[in-house]
Structure 1
Amino acid sequence: MEDFINEILGDDLEIVEIVDFNDFIFVFFQPKGYSNPYKDERLNLVSSSGPLKINTKTMEYEFTHIYEFYSEYGDNEIIFPKKDEVAVDWSEVLYNIKMRERFNSEDFFLLLKNYNLPLDSFDIYSINSQDTIEIEIKHDEAIDYLIEFLEKNNGNYIKKRINHFLIQLDI
């Protein structure tokens, strides 16, 4: 099975964890050489696209979308065992973004967490996961926080509409 998974993931991605749940296997992965700047191992579980989902009976597979995955399995203790909450050090998050000169999708989740905004405040669409993401904001209070966050980090963005942003990941 691991050879099959590695064939799907290719040479640029590595397996972080495999979870067998009902008739599915969820493969959590990350880019090879990825360094988790937040010291929170839970962030290693989910990439920006979500885990690879394999039907163990048919061997059909799909890369899940992160928000759909969280909404369906986010409270599942088999996939996400309960762990002690790791406090977000917002100044460390900002420092790490500036040091790597790049935003990660996790940074936007941490933004929501830092300001106690609901996780569904943003809909993030990956246009080209290497270069650009598109964010649609559902809660008005999140707009100001996003703009402040981007400007504090010299983020390059286009405001398509009042609640719709196109963000360049490299800064």
Structure 2
Amino acid sequence: MHQAIVNIMLDRIQDQFVSEKIFCDHFLVISLEEWEEWKKGKVSLSSEKMQKMKSLFSDYEWMLIQKIARQTILFPEKRNYVVAEYKRLKSIIAKEWINTGRAKVELITEQRVADDILSAYPKKHIVNLRIFMSYGEWGYDDILEFCMPGVIQQQIQDSQVDLLEWVDENLIETYT
């Protein structure tokens, strides 16, 4: 797997999981040693394990990751800041979607994911900000998710503006 993709995956794992060990033990169900070997490009993971890792991202995010990886092949200097570039581009795209007036925004808190498989082990106190474009066809929504520190939830609740406006005004500086 291309190192740019690995770096972006590692950033998402660090955002969502207390540690890589917990990610390996509870989510991917592999040994930490196997994980370390995979990160170095020395072993492959099964397609089932790769699909689980890919599930950390929406289809739209996965497409964006592929584009960014391709850019690092064309412009090797971009390899040094691939994660920052991914976050920057996601934020810009989200703002563009919001500016169309067609985007929807939802805040997914810990309480809303209580039944989720991720709640079966220790995790970071985060909220997910989901911005999506719906096209009226089931399964074809474009989704961007932003893992934000849990304190953002209180900041949004205390704000005098609605969620969509808060995102438009604060997303880029808060996320990147």
TM-score w.r.t. the length of structure 2 is: 0.30
Structure with bigger helix share is 2
TM-score w.r.t. the length of structure 1 is: 0.30
Structure with bigger strand share is 1
Select the structure with the greater relative contact order (CA < 8 A; seq sep ≥ 6): 2
